[in-house]
Structure 1
């Protein structure tokens, strides 16, 4: 870390959370403020995130949230050393709203801008609370991504596996929606599953005969839908059993692939990040996996698993400190990206998602 503390403003707008945070980074990392404004009420009538609604909300909120974060941190813009902002991947309208605001703030203030890959934010978020021994195996598991990566440092990620269809978080959300549960779906499924019988409904075990460390969740979504149709009308007990059966199968799949990757990689630390990493059952299973594998396990605090700007600020600072951030001219010229793989050297994976073929 730098000898002179650095004040970094982070901005995040990749999905449906508008977030801003201020970090003071010196010998340690201190989160001076972390503001997150969700949009659940706006999207609830549609059963999922509507990109156009999200983009408008980000455009309306980003300056307000940034001002709140600066005020809470008792910091003014001229005090900042860096502005770090998500430049992708994500819903392009939201990314544009946040990153364009960051560009304008940087131009107006003269504070350097660091574009940040949203996935890099998650990958390095464990550093908000002490970090983990490098290199570590990262299970990045969220609404939009499910990947296993070796993290060797800022800007140094090597992908071992990824989903070939749907992300784990998407499967949780769709399962919740099918049962009429409120958004966000992941926490709703976890709460309901506590009272359910996880053995009642049979769920598939994806990719059992396939080599590698990829994931697949589309079959589980289909199995949940079929089971719900056969058991209709669903009472609360059946919903709990279905939630428990799905959650057990989804977590077993995550654990199985992660265990194989941990053994192959030889990593001494296992890290989980992303919104689904806030699931207490998954965290417990990952901790047990690390213990029997002789590795340490770390995950960010729950507030830093879901989308937030503190992780963006930290990633921006670490990229800048490592000499990996683009020049100011290049940063201001950068166009936001709806897709931006963390490991640019990895071979493309082509699968099927809810909007058709995806890479």
Structure 2
């Protein structure tokens, strides 16, 4: 059962080929360089670059997997959520291959793909509690069994990755600014600057607009008063507040739903501090499995879509 999966929801175009649950290739065309000069992703540019790059991504993925197009049994692609133009390019490529090969075409959800990206190298023990953290999404999802996605909580405004990038831009960092903040935070005093934890209530929902606004106001105030901003300390203080905001709600969910597996997925799951804290939380609550995906499966990639597709196909055959 050989799957060709396409992920094109934002500024990466990726194709992965999987056979019997094993990733044979996972090729990603990144556009960070092109978008960095604008301080963020430009949707029109992203879709145009997908058109320019998809052919070599396809050829490279076939070559790395030692496959021919005729070897493919199923084609899948990310249908939502994401940038409309980018999603359309991926869908058109997938439809063209499916029509040419006369093989089944399956549409997949991007967030579900991120969650099952954690299932590639280690396998879930259900129930699973997943923290989804990226530039566009911040959610807690509960899976009582395979593919049974239940949204427990979500951001009411900014996603955590979006908050990172907006604060980073004001600090003068290039896009993407989240990894820069994370790196500088490792050597900073996280108690130097006081920032608020938003929506600290009984719900499982998040809010990051308050943290973003408070951070920008503090930066402006310090600049107006000609006070030096100790960058490492500011990054450490901001990052601690952002992670505390996430973990307060996530730990609350652990206590209620008592998962056997916890995982953190999405682009922000590459953050060093989040990865470290997640293992500590697993130990604190005696969680059987703590799964943090390899860095290559954290950002947008087609292997996670292939794994999700494989899970659906295996379940359908049972």
Aligned-residue offset at 1:30: 2.0
Are 1:318 and 2:304 matched, yes or no? no
Contact 2:133 2:266 in 1 (8 A): yes
Say which SS state the counterpart of residue 10 (structure 2) adopts. coil
Cα offsets for 1:166-200 (capped at 9, x unmatched): 11111111111111112222211111112222111
Say which SS state the counterpart of residue 232 (structure 1) adopts. helix
Aligned-residue offset at 1:219: 0.7
Q: Could you tell me which residue of structure 1 aligns to residue 180 of structure 2?
A: 188
Q: Distance in 1 between matches of 2:11 and 2:96?
A: 22
Contact 2:143 2:150 in 1 (8 A): yes
200, 218, 222: which one aligns with 1:231: 222
Are 1:212 and 2:185 matched, yes or no? no
Aligned pair count reads 315
Q: Could you tell me which residue of structure 1 aligns to residue 93 of structure 2?
A: 101
Q: Distance in 1 between matches of 2:157 and 2:150?
A: 20
Cα offsets for 1:52-109 (capped at 9, x unmatched): 0011111221222111101111101110121111111100000000111100110011
Segments of structure 1 that go 5 or more residues without pairing to the other structure are 1-5, 325-359
Q: Could you tell me which residue of structure 2 aligns to residue 328 of structure 1?
A: none
Distance 1:227 1:237, change over 3 A: closer
Aligned-residue offset at 1:258: 0.4
Contact 1:11 1:66 in 2 (8 A): no
After the TM superposition, which residues 19-30 of structure 1 pair with which residues of structure 2 at under 5 Å, given as runs? 19-25=14-20, 29-30=21-22
Aligned-residue offset at 1:113: 1.2
Segments of structure 2 that go 5 or more residues without pairing to the other structure are none
Contact 1:59 1:94 in 2 (8 A): no
Say which SS state the counterpart of residue 277 (structure 2) adopts. helix
Contact 1:146 1:167 in 2 (8 A): yes
Q: Could you tell me which residue of structure 2 aligns to residue 176 of structure 1?
A: 168
Contact 2:126 2:146 in 1 (8 A): no
Q: Distance in 1 between matches of 2:44 and 2:138?
A: 24
Q: Could you tell me which residue of structure 1 aligns to residue 255 of structure 2?
A: 263
- TM-score, normalised relative to structure 1: 0.84
After the TM superposition, which residues 266-305 of structure 1 pair with which residues of structure 2 at under 5 Å, given as runs? 266-295=258-287, 296-305=289-298
32, 48, 52: which one aligns with 2:44: 52
Aligned-residue offset at 1:321: 2.6
Q: Distance in 2 between matches of 1:55 and 1:12?
A: 12
Say which SS state the counterpart of residue 293 (structure 2) adopts. coil
* RMSD of Structure 2 on Structure 1 (CA): 1.6
Aligned-residue offset at 1:237: 6.1
Q: Distance in 2 between matches of 1:236 and 1:174?
A: 20
Q: Could you tell me which residue of structure 1 aligns to residue 7 of structure 2?
A: 12
Q: Distance in 1 between matches of 2:183 and 2:229?
A: 13
Distance 1:127 1:165, change over 3 A: same
